[in-house]
């Protein structure tokens, strides 16, 4: 195995981490001692941030770089290893340790009913000592495990810390930890004493803004999506995903499948709207739309018709009054046209549409419902009312 000298073994970590360079540098700073001298130092870091804010992307890169770098302590010959455990998929601290062992030694077998968490931790330590390895453990979604069994998580974290306390000088420091959660609230359920002896750094992640999401999606499209997609549609996904890259990629991939199913030449905003309806918690129901006042229904119908009839994701605000006037004229309801501003505000308030300021322009979009579904539903309702009452609008 390749030994990397302390003078240059951090250089390989610096790469293009789009919009997360500062967070990556902070992570490297916290783990500098561990990366320079595996087995001689330990570190613990907490990463917090909402879903899709880049935590997993950064940690995947961190783990991959450790794997390909073969970082070895030239004095002790101890090599650095790193594993990720998704606590969301596990039901106890015991199964967490068991999964860590299995990642180190896939042939390990044990009956969990006959083992305790501490016993498994000692087994893991013995395996690492035999392999001459120090280990960084990434506990992804640690907050979900804390919710299930806070006391056991206390024991879990302290159990790994214990191997660096009260040991002989010739024994290596085996375990460093990275705890990943949506917010810092999970610490309230843990014992303060667990965090007293090891310095714990906290690295916050904020959601990507729309421009950053657009750039990241554009890179993803070039690498992974064969079907054509316009920049406007990528912007549309970036805006409605609200900085959640995980959601943005899922929207894109689902829209791609819908586009293929419908034999579209390219991925359309309507494909994205249909995908979003299936992914997100849909707040608007048919009954809510049915209960809308006539003016709100007519403005919704005019917007939906425009989105249904072309491949645009946005309507410029200056075009909307004329569309509304036309549909009011179509349904003999011109007296409602004077209330355009009030009706528009009502639609934004109930989140049926969203209004954005982009490059000194005001644009309007429809994200949480299919335009085609809206047109079909509203036009069917009006046709039925006209049959029932010939004098209705």
pLDDT in tens, 207-229: 999 999 999 999 999 989 989 99
- What is the CATH classification number for the domain harbouring 81? 3.40.50.300
Q: pLDDT by residue (tens digit) across 312-329? A: 888 899 999 999 999 999
- How far apart are alpha carbons 176 and 37 in whole angstroms? 13
- Determine the structural domain holding residue 319 and report its residue range: 286-388
**Residues near 327 by Cβ (< 8 Å), separated by ≥ 6?**
298, 299, 301, 302, 305
198 and 53, same domain (yes or no): yes
Residue 128 confidence class, pLDDT cut points 50, 70, 90: very high
**72, 97: one domain:** yes
Where is pLDDT greater, at 393 or 199? Answer: 199
What tens digit of pLDDT does each residue of 49-98 get? 999 999 998 999 999 999 999 999 999 999 999 999 999 989 899 999 99
Among residues of the chain, what percentage have pLDDT more than 70?
91
Domain-terminating residue out of 279, 298, 333: 279
Residue 49 CA to residue 181 CA, distance in Å, equals 7
The number of folded domains in the chain is: 3
Same domain assignment for residues 151 and 85? yes
With respect to residue 269, please indicate whether it lies within any of the assigned structural domains.
yes
Q: Is 42 among the domain residues?
A: yes
Task: Read off the CATH number of the domain in which 271 is found.
Answer: 1.10.8.60
Residue 6 resides in a domain: no
């Amino acid at each position: 195995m390749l030994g990397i000298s302390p003078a240059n073994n951090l250089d390989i970590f610096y790469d293009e981490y789009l919009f997360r360079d500062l967070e990556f540098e902070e992570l490297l700073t916290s783990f500098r001692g561990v990366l320079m001298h595996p087995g001689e130092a330990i570190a613990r870091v907490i990463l917090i941030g909402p879903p899709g804010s880049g935590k997993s992307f950064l940690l995947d890169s961190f783990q991959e770089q450790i794997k390909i770098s073969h970082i070895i302590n030239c004095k002790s010959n101890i090599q650095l290893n790193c594993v990720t455990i998704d606590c969301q998929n596990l039901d106890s601290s015991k199964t967490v340790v068991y999964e860590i062992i299995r990642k180190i030694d896939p042939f390990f077998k044990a009956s969990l009913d006959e083992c305790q968490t501490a016993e498994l931790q000692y087994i893991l330590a013995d395996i690492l000592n035999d392999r001459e390895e120090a280990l960084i453990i990434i506990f992804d979604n640690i907050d979900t495990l804390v919710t299930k069994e806070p006391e056991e998580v206390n024991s879990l974290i302290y159990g790994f810390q214990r191997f660096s306390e009260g040991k002989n000088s010739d024994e290596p420091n085996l375990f460093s930890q990275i705890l990943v959660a949506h917010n810092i609230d999970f610490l309230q359920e843990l014992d303060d004493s667990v965090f007293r002896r090891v310095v714990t750094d906290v690295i916050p992640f904020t959601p990507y803004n729309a421009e950053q999401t657009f750039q990241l999606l554009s890179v993803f499209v070039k690498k992974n999506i064969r079907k054509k997609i316009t920049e406007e549609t990528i912007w549309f996904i970036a805006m409605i995903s609200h900085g959640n890259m995980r959601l943005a990629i899922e929207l894109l991939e689902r829209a791609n499948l819908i586009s293929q199913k419908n034999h579209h030449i390219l991925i359309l905003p309507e494909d994205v709207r249909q995908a979003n309806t299936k992914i997100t918690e849909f707040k608007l129901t048919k009954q809510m739309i049915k209960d809308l006042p006539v003016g709100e229904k007519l403005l919704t119908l005019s917007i939906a018709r425009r989105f249904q009839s072309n491949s645009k994701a946005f309507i410029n605000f200056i075009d909307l009054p004329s569309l509304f006037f036309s549909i009011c004229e179509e349904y003999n309801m011109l007296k409602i046209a004077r209330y355009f501003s009030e009706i528009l505000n009502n639609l934004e308030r109930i989140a049926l549409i969203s209004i954005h300021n982009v490059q000194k322009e005001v644009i309007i979009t429809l994200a949480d419902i299919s335009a085609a579904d809206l047109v079909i539903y509203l036009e069917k309702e009006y046709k039925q009312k006209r049959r029932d009452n010939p004098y209705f609008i």
